[in-house]
Amino acid sequence: MSRLSDLYDQQGQSPWLDNVRRDWIQDGTMKGWVDRGVRGVTSNPTIFQKAISGGDAYDEQFASLLASGTSVLDSYWEMVVQDIRDTLAILRPVHDASDGVDGYVSIEVSPLLARDTAGTSAAARHLHDLIDEPNLYVKIPGTAEGLPAIREMISLGNSVNVTLLFSVERYREVMEAYISGLEANTGDLSKVSSVASFFISRVDTEADKRLDAIGTPEALALKGKVAVANAQVAYEAFLETFTGPRWEALAARGARVQRPLWASTSTKNPDYPDTLYVDTLIGPDTVNTMPEKTLDDFDDHGTLARAVDADLAGAHAVLDGFAAVGADLADVTATLEDEGVASFSKSFDDLLDSLTAKASDLS
């Protein structure tokens, strides 16, 4: 057995792969990851930008679509949907064997809709109708404008992956949207699933920059600690939310908890351990989606122990210390949300630009 399998079997955390590539789907690599213990797959506009622009795996389908009169934008979605369908088929046995706990594959609505509630709802409904598989997650940004769309999708019985979460406060709002959506759903709640993607390493990147600017010994001592503490406090909020009479009434109808999904868990700072954002966030009813290098690193030398709630007092102390040195976590997370929306939008625009250029070469 691999550490990836043990992570789920022993600790209740599901390791997912944060990448989709057509060549991996076709050559068996994706299936190989599942055999090693990967239990789900996530994608985002940046991942598809790299996959489609980085080689010729999509050229044949793209040329065929263009020849049939399909626009560049519609061709993009056709290619992405094919990859998602094929990956869903690879993960379906995991979904079935886990009774719907895992085996999910995520596709994101256009990042250009991140501040558009109605547009996000329409796009999410369209993707669910178009693909119509039980192990599909449609990713909706956890912006203020995304909250009503999340609630609507859950009320309709459509499973979602809420993405771009950085603050505990917004995460609480997302959990409320999920629970109120379940309460508005008159159907079989056991068929509805959701994860909330809470971003990790980017928090340290931004927090460390501010701590360096402050420069005091107290500030510098907090470097590399804020992101993990922020996520551990988020897990505390998860435990608080999915308990008590309100939740128990939904659980009695078959409802599943909305699991926290730790995203952006590759280590950006080479001074930090390569499995920092995995080892410190292990706990039941969670997911960690990792790029392939982080999966390999954890499988090789990760630490298998429950850690996410081992020292919640210490996590709060780190966040209190961050405020005490004059840093503003709310401003950090607001900045990261804006940058995340902008980054995914840029990847989307860059991809369409590169496809437009490639269309000229193929014509």
pLDDT per position as a tens digit, 61-91? 989 999 999 999 999 999 999 999 999 999 9
| DSSP assignments along 242-276, one per residue | S-SHHHHHHHTTT----EEEEES-S--STTS-TTH
139 is catalytic: yes
Mean pLDDT, residues 313-333: 98
Residue 106 token pair = 């995520």
Q: Are 123 and 132 in contact (CB under 8 A)?
A: no
Residue 176 token pair = 């409320």
Name which residue leads in pLDDT, 56 or 3. Answer: 3
Query: Is residue 251 domain-resident?
Result: yes
Query: Is residue 221 domain-resident?
Result: no
How does strand 194-199 pair with strand 13-17?
unpaired
Poorest-pLDDT segment among 1-5, 171-175, 329-333: 1-5
Strands of the chain, DSSP E: 13-17, 40-41, 104-108, 136-141, 160-165, 194-199, 259-263, 286-290
Q: Is the pLDDT reported for residue 232 higher than 80?
A: yes
SS3 284: coil
Domain limits at 295? 3-201+230-306+337-362
pLDDT of residue 348: 86
For the whole model, what pTM was predicted? Answer: 0.96
Angle (CA) 45-48-50 rounded to 5° is: 110
Query: Is residue 320 domain-resident?
Result: no
pLDDT of residue 44: 84
**Catalytic: which of 31, 139, 191, 268?**
139
Mean pLDDT, residues 340-363: 86
Question: What CA–CA distance (Å, rounded) separates 332 from 205?
Answer: 10
Residue 10 token pair = 């022993």
> What percentage of the chain exceeds 70 in pLDDT?
100
pLDDT of residue 360: 83
Residue 157 token pair = 């019985």
Query: Is residue 69 domain-resident?
Result: yes
Query: Is residue 325 domain-resident?
Result: no
How many domains are contained in the chain?
Answer: 1
Query: Is residue 318 domain-resident?
Result: no
Mean pLDDT, residues 199-220: 98
Q: For the chain, give the mean pLDDT.
A: 96
345, exposed or middle or buried, with CB in 10 Å at 0-12, 13-18, 19+?
Answer: middle
The CATH number that applies at residue 346 is 3.20.20.70
Which pLDDT band holds residue 354 (cuts at 50, 70, 90)?
A: confident
Segment of 29-38, 41-50, 339-348 carrying the highest mean pLDDT: 29-38
Q: Give the residue from 354, 253, 357, 358 showing the smallest Cα distance to 50.
A: 354
Q: Is the pLDDT reported for residue 321 higher than 90?
A: yes
Question: What CA–CA distance (Å, rounded) separates 176 from 154?
Answer: 11
Query: Is residue 278 domain-resident?
Result: yes
Strands of 155-252, DSSP E: 160-165, 194-199
Q: Which amino acid is at 267?
A: T
Q: Over the stretch 133-147, which tens digit does the pLDDT of each residue have?
A: 999 999 999 999 999
Element (H, E) at 120: helix 117-131
pLDDT of residue 202: 97
Which pLDDT band holds residue 332 (cuts at 50, 70, 90)?
A: very high
pLDDT of residue 359: 85
pLDDT of residue 362: 75
Q: Is the pLDDT reported for residue 47 higher than 90?
A: no
Query: Is residue 208 domain-resident?
Result: no
Q: Give the residue from 41, 51, 172 showing the smallest Cα distance to 107.
A: 41
Name which residue leads in pLDDT, 296 or 62. Answer: 296
